[in-house]
Amino acid sequence: MSAFDCVIVGGGIVGAALADVLSADGMSVALVEARSIGAGTTACGMGHLVAMDDNAAELALTSWSVSLWRELADGLPRAVEYDACGTLWLAADDEEMAAVSAKVANYRAAGVRAEVLDSAALQEAEPALAPGLVGALRVVDDAVLYPPLAARTFALRAQARGARLMTGCPVRELRSGSVVLSNGEVLTARYIVLAAGVASPALCPGLPISPRKGHLLITRRGAPVVHHQLVELGYLKSAHGTDGASVAFNAQPRVTGQLLLGSSRQPGDATREVDAALLERMLKRAAMFLPGLDGLQALRVWTGLRPATPDGLPLLGPHPEKPWLWLACGHEGLGITTATGSARLVADQLLGRTSAIDARPYSPARFLTASSREVAHA
């Protein structure tokens, strides 16, 4: 039996970032991962660090997290491929362009640098895009990186401070004050944090997290095709609905010269197979924005499972019915972006510190007790 200040269950980017923060604060930490660090949903994502303004809580967490990443950037190994390429939100029609000015105001109010590109400026910035797009919103400080190595970097930093990394260690059960591994080993801890993404409900039944499958495609190395992360503004209309499968155009330049292409969403689908019909829809959508798409060389297609919550915000904080259990899960498609902020928020709560942003919108209590559910729906 081993005793720790904190056992973190789940070695994805969120768990690894938390291990990094807690170990830096002097806590003794064990990071327990069923397979390999950063090898689950973390390895399947696009690796965008993007400020999103769907609602105030999302903007607060994402913009703060992006700035935390920026502070970390110089200390990351080159292989993490941090690239502050910025995001262009593409407006396909006047209606979407009208939304751009409201978004600029939103972003600026949150301290996020944003600017409007008209059609000509957009064509100049991204010549590979189809002509006829009305314009774009440029979010200057957004970035991309390579998530599994970012997660591994966090985990190795924690290990260097004395944290115990336990990979290939599936967890059988979470108890008050202890974690039981499948091999029978028991780890005791003052704090237990569940950061197991889509696997979290298996260890804590009742969590409002369900898989939302996505597809990605990456091209071979070559000359860069695009220079910013590109996302269609229609994404907000097409992809955020929770009913049925949807696709939206999302493309990223990688420092290798590869183009990373998404995206698709299939709520409730936990299979890993490539769905050819949905991939076709995704490629068809992308080809509308990148007319030269079909001539690019595809190297790999893969899928991943986003851990989605009903309101699109993560669960960060104590479990209302199990006060010994802390949650850091349910990040859907923003786990890479918000890993830094999520780790800080949970660490601050564990240590009784004040956070830079209000933690209440992410409290698990909004779903997990009757009283809070009424408040949430009020």
Partner 1 sequence: MREACDLVVVGAGPGGLAAACRAAEAGLDVLVLDAQPEPGGQVWRSEARKGANRLARRWLTRFAASGARFRPGARVVAAPEPGVLLVEEGSSSFAVRYGRAVLATGARERFLPFPGWTLPGVLGVSGLQVLVKDGLPIRGKRVVLAGTGPLLLAAAATIHAHGGEVLYIAEQASAASHWGFALQLWRHPAKLLQGALMSAALISVPTSTDAWVIAAEGEGRVESVRLSVRGREEQLRCDYLGAAYGLVPNLEVARLLGCETSAGAVVVNERLETRVPKVHAVGELLGIGGVDQALVTGELAGLVAAEQPIPVELERTWHRVRAFAAQLARHDAPRAELRRLATPDTLLCRCEDVPMSALEGCQNLREARLYARLGMGACQGRTCGTAAQTLFGWSGEDVRPPCLPARIGSLRLPSDVSSTHARES
Q: What tokens were used for 106?
A: 């939103």
Backbone angles phi, psi at 137, to 5 degrees: -105, 125
CB nearer to partner 1: give 156 or 376: 156
CB nearer to partner 1: give 242 or 297: 297
CB nearer to partner 1: give 256 or 372: 256
CB nearer to partner 1: give 158 or 192: 158
Backbone angles phi, psi at 8, to 5 degrees: -105, 125
Nearest distance in Å: CB 79, partner 1? 8
Q: Which positions lie near partner 1, rule CB under 8 A?
A: 35-36, 38-39, 43, 148-149, 152, 167-168, 217, 219-221, 272, 274, 276-277, 279-280, 283-284, 293-302
Nearest distance in Å: CB 16, partner 1? 13
Nearest distance in Å: CB 279, partner 1? 7
The residue among 240, 256, 250, 252 whose CA lies nearest residue 332 is: 240
Say how many Å lie between the first and final Cα of the chain, rounded. Answer: 46
Give dist(CA 165, CA 16) in Å, integer. 10
The residue among 154, 164, 162, 163 whose CA lies nearest residue 80 is: 154
| Strand, helix or coil for residue 143 | strand
CB nearer to partner 1: give 7 or 155: 155
Write the CB contacts of 186 (distance below 8 Å, at least 6 apart in sequence).
1, 178, 179, 180
Nearest distance in Å: CB 43, partner 1? 5
Nearest distance in Å: CB 208, partner 1? 27
Give dist(CA 373, CA 378) in Å, integer. 9
Nearest distance in Å: CB 127, partner 1? 19
CB nearer to partner 1: give 162 or 206: 162
